[in-house]
Amino acid sequence: MKKILVLILILVCSCFNLFAQRIKDIAYITGQSSEQVIGYGLVVGLAGTGDTQRSTFTLQSITSMLKRFGITVPIDNLETRNVAAVMVTATIDSHLKLGADFDVTVSSMGDASSLSGGTLLMTPLSSMVGRVYGYAQGPLAVGGYDFRTESGSRVAKNHALAGRVPMGGILQQSLDVDSLSTKQISVYLREPDMNTASNVMIAINTKFGNQVAMAKDPAEIIVKVPNDKQSNIVGFLADLESITVLTDQAAKVVLDERSGTVVAGNNVKILPASITHGNLNITIRSYPIISQPGPLSNGTTQVFNNLIPSVREDSTNTIAIQGASTVQQVAAALNSLKVSPQDIIAIFQALKKAGALIGELVII
């Protein structure tokens, strides 16, 4: 009986040569940056799903917080099932100004069972060097639930120990960024590539005139701001970011052996090759033989477990590929073997070793 294929073969046709992308989608400009911040806080208002007494840092945090309000409670008398200790993280854009709101992510760090329905108390958010950039507070939005009963029954959906506070962070200190130059700026590709950098340079020169852009390397394109655009640098950058460019991507096949997922780009090609696939299945079945003693013989019943092996070889399929130049042709060739995703991964690896696969094999 054939096994149910839980793992999926995904062949994505990314038609890079047919669709252009905006520069703002593939690159960023000088002065555009971000800062990651982190903080430690408490979530309250949980319905008995918070940290237990084993999370001693939660008890210490509650005690310290109450002392700030002039309340002293012995740590042994604290009940923390409605409170959970969390880590708060966020990424702040460099262009945000004082008072701007931003999203924060809240993740449990104790033994709470769910953060659903909780509220994050005011938490300072700082960078790696300890500089506080803002504060976060507000009700959590958790995209799941986890209900448990005393008898051990459990009903859960998605992940209930992490959530977000939409626009829960408030920026108190702007990031230090360099001001935009009105003479020259640089465009940095998020995925460095020689051909893409050359295409960006040509597209910018076509839009604003020759000698405006010059590709320095596969990642950076230097752009001189035209004289008539220097008085309105923001408008110039807006026009520059909206330019569409044909991007070029290397031929890659990504194999995830843990999940059996295969993702192949449109530039992947297969040279003429012959593929043979077959399986040998060995089954050992038990046929017990029972021997009963004769009447009045004082004998005992004997059981002999007779193990009989059987061998069955699946029909071996051999196909000859005359060459495949598109993802659809690659998929059709491999699907004709009627094999599992794990076998398809092995076939891709064998094709690469045989020199028949034109592309980079990435195993994750």
Q: Do 119 and 191 reside in the same domain of the chain?
A: no
What pLDDT band is residue 12 in, cutting at 50, 70 and 90? very low
13 part of a folded domain: no
- Count structural domains, the chain: 3
Contact 253, 362 (CB under 8 A): yes
The answer on 270 and 282 residing in a single domain is: yes
- pLDDT tens per residue across span 128-183: 888 999 999 999 998 877 766 666 666 777 788 999 999 999 999 888 777 778 88
Residues 162 and 217 in one domain: no
Helix residue ranges per DSSP H, the chain: 23-26, 56-68, 194-208, 233-241, 327-335, 341-353
Buried b (16+ CB within 10 A) or exposed e, 30-54: beeeebebebebbbbbbeebbbeee
**CA 349, 353, 358, 361 torsion-angle sign:** positive
> Is 270 in contact with 222 (CB distance < 8 Å)?
no
Q: What percent of the chain lies above the pLDDT cut of 90?
A: 33
What pLDDT was estimated at residue 149?
65
Q: Which domain holds residue 354?
A: 252-363
Which of 210, 245, 280 is where one domain is finished?
245
| Domain edge (last residue) among 201, 219, 245 | 245
- Residue 293 in any domain: the answer is yes
Residue 249: the pLDDT is: 76
- 8 A C-beta contact, residue 268 and residue 357: yes
Phi then psi for residue 165, to 5 deg, are -115, 100
